[in-house]
Structure 1
Amino acid sequence: MYNSKKQIAIIGAGPGGLTLARILQQAGFEPLIYERESSPTEQSQGGTLDLETHTGQKALQVAGLMKKFEKVCRYEGQALRIMNKYGNLWYENDFQNNEDYSRPEIDRADLRNLLLNSLHPNSVQWGYRLIQAVPLSKNQYELQFEHGEKITVDLVIAADGAFSRIRSLVSQSSAKYSGISMIELSIKNVSNQHADILKFNGSGSMFAMGDNKTLMAQVNGDNRIRVYLGFRMGYNFLDECDITFHEPEIAKKELLKYFDDWSGDLKKYILYANGEIIPRRIYMLPVHHRWEHKPGVTLIGDAAHLMSPFAGAGANLAMLDGTELALSIINHSNLEDAIKIYEEKMFAYAGKMAAITQANLDMFFSDRADEKLEEFFHNIQQ
């Protein structure tokens, strides 16, 4: 095993970085996580996600957290309905009549708390915004933070997301606009105020598509449905579309114009929204992104293989990365060998999933989405 007294720094307290730290701590290592947020509650952690058997759930098994996960996950959240813009149902997986327990849902905030609470006290240094990492001799790095502190480490692991400050040390690739823009809405207190849309949606997720647009909806554990409107548009769309995002009631009327000929039930997801409206561009790294190994540094999660959300792989792969890297460090006496073994393994599975994700994007956002979707489900049922 690699010397557990060496200084290991993890940049970013997302699912990947927290998983990595948890597994290393179980083996006697004391990594420190440096997170730019000032506290665990500074920012919303977003909606809900499913953890897959061979990725996210595997990570929790290795981390010894499955029993705690099972207490907070929602198996009924696996339910899925997929339809076209007219509300014609193409696919339905009703959890009540399905014995597949492989992809239970968990709110992102609950997952983060589960991982955070499993770590030793003071494992996360909050309010540490990294400016840069400077290579030193002996394969060490000096981490320079916004408030002026400088820290020397033997290994720096980038778990700092799409716009990683570490990625440029190993790769010339940067996050590029995917061609998709999304707008997030919320229907809060949904079971009491809008039981009709909850019945239409089902207990899990609903996905509709047509005309190079998508409408995705997910039931969250806090009695809300999060809604994500997707558009295949140019980079400037969100700036030039004249949607008044800071005035939700006006913005809803403007958004409905983009879905004028969609089913009345689907338009209710916009009509019923009762919270802030959040626009965002979707970014990605090149499919099969990889780099030549450099001593003392590596990447996990979105820093390594940022992809669009159209296969639900982001958090699952980040947790798998954290697991594979931790196990490689634990099981090899030479640190550089351990990192190389992790990187090659990760390049293979992440590249495969990035290709699937891109294929899904191209299928969902197309002029013939209905036909492509029908053909897709016909093929998988053969």
Structure 2
Amino acid sequence: MNSARDPRIAIVGAGLGGLTCARVLERHGSSVTVFEREASADARPQGGTLDLHADTGQAALRAAGLLDRFHALSRPEGEEWRVLDFATAALLAHQGPSADGGRPEIDRGRLRGLLLDSLPEGAVRWDRAVTGVAPLADGTCRLLFGDGTAEDFDLVVGADGAWSRVRPALSPAVPGYTGVTFVETGFDHCDTRHPDLARLVGNGSMLAKGAGKSLVAQRNGNGHIRAYIALRAPEDWQVASGIDLGDQQAVRTHLLRMFDGWDESLRYILRNSDSGFVNRSLFVLPAPHTWEHVPGVTLLGDAAHLMPPVGLGANLAMLDGADLAHALVAEPSVDDAVRAYESIMLPRSIEAATGSARGLDRLVPATAC
């Protein structure tokens, strides 16, 4: 940063985008503090596998000086995609890994760990829940915490996801339900305990889709397969159906009824998973989502452009983080940096949101294919 002093920068949220921003800033000698409401890095599972694109996620890791370490941990074979007929499980389409390994897979938790390990001790303050922010008249911003305390910063970066506590300082927008829910479940030691499913999925991901519902299964690390039962349904579908998501057998029975007529090798996913069922209703921000510039505060990742999980969100969040960090290093003031960053990020996110909406329609078609 070309200024008389090191600016006080706070990042709210220790997800992939916020940590990428922190890492790039630290690499350029700028101090930053990341505030995270979770008690520790291991407080909850971090989700499934991600494919990192060369021009977004991998570009961000290159800026962070972590690309070689990423390649050592990633699974190039995880790029494989298999599309199966829902009624017969016949292979309809197959995409193998690209010759250059252009979009290798990595478990989200492992990628987050790579970023966390790259930061100095104390850069992330765990168990610090943010309740809101207040832009101040002098162009700085006050960060408000759940314990009633507050701290002032030259810049507060909202990297705190779908239900961001920072977003209201910039925009009144709130996420809306897409009409699609993912019901998540999983399989452990799949090659030995679930070999038929392992062969069905292959080295990467498998998709079978019908009208208003799909099955997606993807390889994770350590022999785990994570599966998603995708449904076009009301947000409270389980309530309307009288289903307790904690009653595994009741959920299985209901889902098997919904997927009547599907091939039994695919219905195996519904009958035999090792873990329970987790309901994940999909929400998005209105598109386009923009805001008038406010000094002292900005957003990145899902806080700025929540979109369907079809492979773009994590990549864009990381690129957002790297772009913001580069602007803060290059521009003469914090405000100039944020304006430069937003002028790049907002148009890019509008285009991506449109593409992601189309991707969700292809993943879970409303009518028969």
When the two structures are superposed, what TM-score results if normalisation uses the length of structure 2?
Answer: 0.96
Offset, 1:178: 1.0
Distance 1:204 1:353 in 2: 24
Describe how 1:39-54 pairs up with structure 2 within 5 A: 39-54=40-55
Q: What are the superposed Cα offsets for residues 233-278 of structure 1, whole Å, 9 maximum, x if unpaired? A: 1222132223332122332222111101111121111222011210
The alignment partner of 2:138 has SS state of: helix
Report the CA distance shift for 1:327/1:369 in structure 2 as closer, same or farther (over 3 A).
Answer: farther
1:220 matched to which residue of 2? 220
Cα RMSD (Å): 1.4
Q: What are the superposed Cα offsets for residues 158-205 of structure 1, whole Å, 9 maximum, x if unpaired? A: 000000011111112111111111100101111111111101110100
Distance 1:141 1:348 in 2: 25
Amino acid in the other structure paired with 1:111: L
1:111 matched to which residue of 2? 111
Identity of aligned residues (%): 38
Indicate if the aligned counterparts of 1:46 and 1:109 stay in contact, CA closer than 8 A: yes
Distance 2:287 2:322 in 1: 22
Indicate if the aligned counterparts of 1:181 and 1:238 stay in contact, CA closer than 8 A: no
1:341 matched to 2:340? The reply is yes
Amino acid in the other structure paired with 2:124: V
Offset, 1:44: 0.7
1:139 matched to which residue of 2? 139
Deviates more, 1:52-61 or 1:140-149: 140-149
Amino acid in the other structure paired with 1:343: E
Amino acid in the other structure paired with 2:258: Y
Offset, 1:309: 1.0
Distance 2:186 2:61 in 1: 29
Describe how 1:1-382 pairs up with structure 2 within 5 A: 1-3=1-3, 5-86=6-87, 87-95=89-97, 98-310=98-310, 312-370=311-369
1:374 matched to which residue of 2? none
Amino acid in the other structure paired with 2:316: L
Deviates more, 1:38-47 or 1:141-150: 141-150
Indicate if the aligned counterparts of 1:289 and 1:351 stay in contact, CA closer than 8 A: yes
1:380 matched to which residue of 2? none
Distance 1:363 1:93 in 2: 16
Distance 1:220 1:114 in 2: 16
Distance 2:207 2:332 in 1: 47
The alignment partner of 1:183 has SS state of: strand
Amino acid in the other structure paired with 1:54: D
The alignment partner of 2:134 has SS state of: strand
1:377 matched to which residue of 2? none
Distance 1:346 1:39 in 2: 30
The alignment partner of 1:177 has SS state of: strand
Distance 1:235 1:163 in 2: 17
Offset, 1:105: 0.5
Distance 2:221 2:361 in 1: 30
Q: What are the superposed Cα offsets for residues 46-100 of structure 1, whole Å, 9 maximum, x if unpaired? A: 11111010010000011000111111111111110123322243320133xx514
Indicate if the aligned counterparts of 1:15 and 1:112 stay in contact, CA closer than 8 A: yes
The alignment partner of 2:243 has SS state of: coil
| Runs of at least 5 residues in structure 1 that lack an aligned partner in the other structure | 371-382
Indicate if the aligned counterparts of 2:238 and 2:245 stay in contact, CA closer than 8 A: no
Distance 2:240 2:100 in 1: 44
When the two structures are superposed, what TM-score results if normalisation uses the length of structure 1?
Answer: 0.93
